[in-house]
Chain A
Amino acid sequence: MHVLVLLVQILVLFAVVMLHVAYATYFERKIIGHMQVRMGPMRVGWHGLLQPIADGIKSFFKEDIIPEQADRPIFLAAPIICLVAMLTSLAVLPFAPGWVLADINIGLIFILAMSSLSSYGVILAGWASNSKYTFLGGLRSMAQVISYEIAMGLSLVGVMMLSGTLNLSRIVEAQGPSFTGMYLFPQIIAFFVFCVAMLAETNRVPFDLPEAETELVSGYATEYSGMRYAMFFMAEYIGMMVMSAIGTVCFLGGWNGPFTVPGVPFFWFVLKIYIFLFVFIWIRATLPRYRYDQLMELGWKLLIPLALANIALTGIARAIFG
Chain B
Amino acid sequence: MLMLLFFCYCAVVIIGTGLLAVTLRNPVHSVLMVLILFFHMAMLYLSLGAEFLAAVQIIVYAGAILVLYLFVLFLVSLKDEVRLPRFVSSAWLGRLIAGGLAACLLYILPVFTTGARGNWPADRVREITPTRALATEMYSASVLPFEIAGLILLVAVIGGLLLARRDKEER
Contact = CB atoms under 8 A, between A and B. Distances in A.
Do the two shown chains form a genuine complex with each other?
yes
Contacts of B54: 106
B129 interface: yes
Contacts of B26: 71
Contacts, number: 64
Interface in A203-234: none
A295 interface: no
A74 to B, nearest CB: 7
Nearest to A110: B55
A113 B32 contact: no
Interface in B27-50: 28-29, 32, 35
Interface stretch (B13-21, B62-70, B97-105, B139-147): B62-70
Nearest to B26: A71
B67 A106 contact: no
A269 interface: no
On chain B, which size bracket covers the interface?
A: 20 to 34
B74 A116 contact: no
Nearest to A160: B131
A200 interface: no
Nearest to A104: B51
B62 A116 contact: yes
B56 interface: yes
A158 B104 CA distance: 46
B35 A120 contact: yes
B40 to A, nearest CB: 13
Given A109-B56, A109-B59, A135-B74, A116 B64 contact: yes
B71 A139 contact: yes
On chain A, which size bracket covers the interface?
A: 20 to 34
B52 interface: yes
B169 to A, nearest CB: 20
Given A106-B55, A120-B67, A166 B131 contact: yes
Interface in A131-180: 135, 139, 142-143, 146, 149, 153, 165-166
Interface in B67-106: 67, 70-71, 74
Given A74-B28, A105-B131, A139-B71, A146 B64 contact: yes
Contacts of B28: 71, 74, 127
Interface string A123-134: 110010000000
Contacts of B35: 120
A31 interface: no
A217 to B, nearest CB: 20
A17 interface: no
A153 B55 CA distance: 13
Contact of B67 (A104, A123, A166): A123
Contacts of A73: 29
A117 interface: yes
Contacts of A153: 59
Interface in B111-133: 129-131
Given A109-B52, A109-B55, A166-B131, A123 B63 contact: no
Nearest to B64: A146
Nearest to A116: B63
A112 interface: yes
Given A74-B32, A109-B52, A117 B58 contact: yes
B58 to A, nearest CB: 4
B33 to A, nearest CB: 11
A73 B25 CA distance: 14
B63 A113 contact: yes
Given A123-B67, A142-B71, A105 B62 contact: no
B25 to A, nearest CB: 12
A146 B52 contact: no
Given A120-B63, A149-B63, 12 more contacts: A74-B28, A105-B51, A106-B55, A109-B56, A113-B58, A113-B59, A113-B62, A116-B59, A117-B62, A120-B67, A124-B32, A127-B28
29 contacts: A73-B29, A74-B29, A105-B51, A105-B130, A105-B131, A106-B52, A106-B54, A106-B55, A106-B131, A109-B55, A109-B56, A109-B59, A110-B55, A113-B58, A116-B58, A116-B63, A116-B64, A120-B62, A124-B32, A139-B74, A142-B67, A142-B71, A143-B71, A146-B64, A146-B67, A149-B63, A149-B64, A153-B59, A165-B129
Interface of B: 26, 28-29, 32, 35, 51-52, 54-56, 58-59, 62-64, 67, 70-71, 74, 129-131
Q: What 5 A-B pairs have minimum CB-CB distances, sorted nearest first?
A: A116-B63, A113-B58, A109-B55, A113-B59, A106-B51
